[in-house]
Structure 1
Amino acid sequence: MSLLHHAVRQDPFAGLSRFRGEFYSCLTRRADALFELTDAVLCADGPVRSLVELSLVGEHRRGHGGLYDALAAGRVDVGRLRRALAAVPLPRAADGRLVLAADITCWLRPSAHTSPQRILCHTYGRGKDQHIPVPGWPYSVICALETGRSSWTAPLDALRLAPGDDAATVTARQMRELVERLIQAGQWKDGDPEILIVVDAGYDVPRLAFLLKDLPVQVLGRMRSDRVLRRAVPSYPPGTRGRPARHGGEFVFGDPGTWKTPDAQTVTRTRLYGTAIARAWDRLHPRLTHRSAWTAQFGTLPVIEGTVILLQVDVLPSGATPKPVWLWWSGTDATTPDVDLLWQAFLRRFDIEHTFRLFKQTLGWTCPKIRSPEAADRWTWLILVVFTQLRLARPLAADLRRPWEKPSPVERLTPARVRRDFRHLRPKTACPAGAPKFSQPGPGRPIGRENDRPTPRYDVHRVSKPGPAKQRTKKSTTPRPRRTG
């Protein structure tokens, strides 16, 4: 067990101070300015609306020029910071296992024509099923989830997708490195339950499980409702001639006649969703072809077996009509307790949306008009450090509620409520940043002289699917059924 993990378990103040000291050690250039910038985000009154206004916060003792210079020219040892985040105590599921959720959130920059490496990000419009591509920087974020109803998560890693990156490949590499760091930090040991990775329908779940098959992890994710999977090949009697089949009968999500009897079924009464019925079918796999992501796979394509879970509920908290949810789990031979644990763990995946909302609406992650993607990465890591400090200060904060807000127990405080009291906790923790030195601003460009070095402009990149480039063909007007293997 690391010293940081032990200190947090023993004394919350000591653990918070030790993490702040470790974070300061990760800052290799403009350390004092970057450290005070994170304190300004933590201690600001209300949501962060502007980056320059953070220089007016009392905990930030430097001017606005030093603030921008820190983001533009500062340096963060990201490798050491990743190890420090992995060493902090993490939340666990009901059975004691680690549950990691991965998702992509976008920092939209539609008007930043001088910012390179922007990608068209798909966002939801106001209309029904309306998707609008907006230029921005997509980030793949991995968080550890808690059990039960909560808006808390533990952000552990963030990685910006560069033009041409495949989301599944990048997430698999990112998840592999994170799991290795967690094992080195003592968060997982031999004999512990395997780490559960939960993703949404935007990922190719069988492919992610195949890329991580040598790690102690299990992958759980949602599939589209028009998928078609295959059953295991039935045993052939001796003496059967011909080439053995690799795939069994079809399992069509949209055709109940192909489902047959489920291998496990549970019925649970819930407060938010009414009656939740979960049915599971064992050993189902997709039929892979030498296309898209599997073009680099030579020889015989693998058969990736798993368990399909169909979740149906009575009502939704939003009042919308509930639709069936199809899940695919990389494990097999699921029991009734396994099915209950899996679908409830998938519903906890949506807690990561609360974290993204806090990043953008309260901590001001997307409010700075940063030009370079390197500075955006630097600011993103500062936001992750801010949230980690809020999580460590969770047992120490008092409920500073507004007159119109209901009282909340200390253990039920939200991250925004904990942030209100951080200004009172900060003097009791370590503050290694030194006092600012007196300096004068540079002369700048002479008055009346025009800028003879215009900033270059960059094109927006499109998200490309893995595999060889195909020639553009005329789009067919013949309607085709929604059916994907």
Structure 2
Amino acid sequence: MSLLHHAVRREPFEVLSCFRAELYACMTARADALFELADALLCTDGPVRTLVDLALAPEHRRGHGALYGGLNQGRIDVARLRRALAGVPLPRAADGRLVLAVDVSPWLRPDASTCADRAFCHTFGRGEGKHQMVPGWPYSVVAALESGRTSWTAVLDAVRLQPGADVAAVTTVQIREVVERLIAAGQWKPGNPKILVVLDAGYDAPRIAHLLAGLPVQILGRLRSDRVMRRPAPSRDEFALAHPKGGRPPKHGGEFVFGDPTTWGPEQAVTTTDTRLYGKATAQAWDRLHPRLTRRAAWLDHGGPLPLIEGTVIRLVVEKLPSGGVNKPVWLWWSGADSTAADVDRCWQSFLRRFDIEHTFRLFKQTLGWTRPRLRNSEAADRWTWLVIAAYAQLRLARPLAADLRRPWERPAEPNRLTPARVRRGFRNLRTKTGTPAGAPKPSLPGPGRPPGSKNRHPATRHDVGRVLATGEAYSRPAHHKVGTKPRRTR
């Protein structure tokens, strides 16, 4: 191996070693057990089925009692771990811009009546493809996206949503804290392009953009196809010309109805791109459109006059779908103004890259076994979640170092193009070079446990699902979660 090859590999190896040392420092209690559990998660062959299988891995030198003790009684300095994740090299778009995706993934626990803090999680595709609300722990995850064809993301944060939480408010606080950590870590500096935050349907993109005003971010969110936007109000001269007798000037202009092409008017920008999966993709953009807000729901307690949150509406139509389903237009709302053809292309292509976070969730659940443990305590679930995130971050940092240990029927992959599962196959070889900061286990004897034949005199408490909120108020299911409701025209 040449000296040049050694020099190229040295920097990623040092970054991985430094992150492992920082991860160990973030574990303030039961650090050895937690760190070796993360190593077992990285080095075990095949998908993770149970925690006991991880206890049998050679990298986990302790018994299964220490494994559960680390999850139940251990402590992780999450704030320090979040700063460590924000400080490692992050993927960027072609123009050097950071693109963040936010989405919620549930840890379903429908039969765990002894688990507290469960909420109703939105699921789709369970039981004849119907919309269902299943009890579980929903987690809001923020990840940085890469450009091009890839299944890699850089997970930066995860927050468990409390029952009845305001998703928009929690997401706003989460994005604000992530952006502030990125700025503190030097990932964004004045003069750089603004950070683009991509949201899927279900998020109130205009409201989040209003709450994040002042930060160097732009919001891009998907809208329902039955929405109605408003144009800017006419100027005083235009109003006086149209109404010579005077009157009260309007606050909003004409309607822009998504389902009525006669209300659209001329576009500000139109682009057409040939794609590999979707064929010809056509994007139309209309500038300076805003939703008409009313004093209800999230804006009920807003002080002062309601704001006018202007943005750009983008309509994306593709020639075909890879799955062969019904081809419907996708409506996007971007918080930027004066959009150009380059802005429109960047927005819809970034939105398509948002689906990479779904690959990350699939890896977490099917390969790393994120939702496999049957933990009772929600705090233990949070610790396990952060261990999975830390393990995935090590896989991403080891991406340029891992060898392609492919099976005979798999195609060879180019350097630095391995999937996360294939990087995990060779992580055991890298671990022997990085070493482990965890101390050797001390000899001990198992505890006596409960005497044989005795009954459990302290049964676990049963908890209802999302019935009482953190504020003490009773839980009521949102109207759009009730069966039989129809989409309504939103102004």
The answer on whether the counterparts of 1:119 and 1:463 sit within 8 Å (CA) in structure 2 is no
Q: Which residue of 1 aligns with 2:402?
A: 397
Tell me by how many angstroms 1:10 deviates. Answer: 6.1
TM-score, normalisation: structure 2 = 0.93
Aligned-pair identity (%): 67
Matches of 2:157 and 2:426, distance apart in 1: 26
The answer on whether the counterparts of 1:8 and 1:14 sit within 8 Å (CA) in structure 2 is no
Q: Which residue of 1 aligns with 2:189?
A: 189
Which letter maps to 2:457?
D
Q: CA 1:226–1:154 in structure 2 vs 1: closer, same or farther (change >3 Å)?
A: same
Corresponding position: 1:147 with 2:147: yes
Matches of 2:74 and 2:427, distance apart in 1: 25
The answer on whether the counterparts of 1:283 and 1:306 sit within 8 Å (CA) in structure 2 is yes
User: Which has the higher mean CA deviation after the structures are superposed, 57-66 or 230-239?
Assistant: 230-239
Alignment partner of 1:247 out of 225, 232, 252: 252
Tell me by how many angstroms 1:408 deviates. Answer: 1.2
> Residues 166-224 of structure 1: CA distance to partner in whole angstroms, max 9, x if unpaired?
11100100110110000000000000000000010110000110110110000001000
Q: Which residue of 2 aligns with 1:260?
A: 265
The answer on whether the counterparts of 2:256 and 2:263 sit within 8 Å (CA) in structure 1 is yes
Matches of 1:129 and 1:169, distance apart in 2: 30
Q: Which residue of 1 aligns with 2:198?
A: 198
> Residues 370-404 of structure 1: CA distance to partner in whole angstroms, max 9, x if unpaired?
00000000000000000000000000011111111
Matches of 1:462 and 1:278, distance apart in 2: 44
The answer on whether the counterparts of 2:468 and 2:475 sit within 8 Å (CA) in structure 1 is no
The answer on whether the counterparts of 1:118 and 1:135 sit within 8 Å (CA) in structure 2 is yes
Matches of 2:322 and 2:59, distance apart in 1: 41
> Residues 397-429 of structure 1: CA distance to partner in whole angstroms, max 9, x if unpaired?
111111111111122110000000001110111
Q: Which residue of 2 aligns with 1:484?
A: 490
Q: CA 1:105–1:479 in structure 2 vs 1: closer, same or farther (change >3 Å)?
A: closer
Matches of 2:487 and 2:192, distance apart in 1: 45
For residues 342-421 of structure 1, the aligned pairs below 5 Å read: 342-421=347-426
Q: Which residue of 1 aligns with 2:70?
A: 70
Q: Secondary structure at the match of 1:412?
A: coil
For residues 73-84 of structure 1, the aligned pairs below 5 Å read: 73-84=73-84
Aligned length: 476
Q: CA 1:236–1:22 in structure 2 vs 1: closer, same or farther (change >3 Å)?
A: same
Tell me by how many angstroms 1:448 deviates. Answer: 2.6
Corresponding position: 1:319 with 2:324: yes
The answer on whether the counterparts of 2:288 and 2:337 sit within 8 Å (CA) in structure 1 is yes
The answer on whether the counterparts of 2:126 and 2:132 sit within 8 Å (CA) in structure 1 is no
Which letter maps to 2:142?
I
Corresponding position: 1:124 with 2:129: no
Q: Secondary structure at the match of 1:281?
A: strand
Alignment RMSD, CA only? 2.4
Q: Which residue of 1 aligns with 2:58?
A: 58
Q: Secondary structure at the match of 1:300?
A: coil
Unaligned runs of at least 5 residues, structure 1: 1-6
Matches of 1:167 and 1:185, distance apart in 2: 27
Q: CA 1:127–1:264 in structure 2 vs 1: closer, same or farther (change >3 Å)?
A: farther
Tell me by how many angstroms 1:242 deviates. Answer: 2.5
For residues 288-303 of structure 1, the aligned pairs below 5 Å read: 288-303=293-308
Matches of 1:183 and 1:344, distance apart in 2: 25
Matches of 1:378 and 1:478, distance apart in 2: 39
Q: Secondary structure at the match of 1:21?
A: helix
Corresponding position: 1:18 with 2:18: yes
Matches of 1:56 and 1:394, distance apart in 2: 26
Q: Which residue of 1 aligns with 2:4?
A: none
Q: Secondary structure at the match of 1:34?
A: helix
For residues 104-115 of structure 1, the aligned pairs below 5 Å read: 104-115=104-115
The answer on whether the counterparts of 2:467 and 2:475 sit within 8 Å (CA) in structure 1 is no
Corresponding position: 1:330 with 2:335: yes
Q: Secondary structure at the match of 1:279?
A: strand
Q: Secondary structure at the match of 2:219?
A: strand
Matches of 1:98 and 1:320, distance apart in 2: 32
Q: Which residue of 2 aligns with 1:4?
A: none
Q: Secondary structure at the match of 1:283?
A: strand
Q: CA 1:96–1:463 in structure 2 vs 1: closer, same or farther (change >3 Å)?
A: farther
Tell me by how many angstroms 1:318 deviates. Answer: 1.3
Matches of 1:481 and 1:86, distance apart in 2: 39
The answer on whether the counterparts of 2:99 and 2:197 sit within 8 Å (CA) in structure 1 is yes
Which letter maps to 1:259?
W
Which letter maps to 2:16?
L
The answer on whether the counterparts of 1:18 and 1:430 sit within 8 Å (CA) in structure 2 is no
Matches of 2:226 and 2:87, distance apart in 1: 41
The answer on whether the counterparts of 1:21 and 1:430 sit within 8 Å (CA) in structure 2 is no
Q: Secondary structure at the match of 2:306?
A: coil
TM-score, normalisation: structure 1 = 0.94
Q: CA 1:391–1:30 in structure 2 vs 1: closer, same or farther (change >3 Å)?
A: same
Which letter maps to 2:182?
L
Alignment partner of 2:461 out of 456, 479, 485: 456
Q: CA 1:317–1:236 in structure 2 vs 1: closer, same or farther (change >3 Å)?
A: same
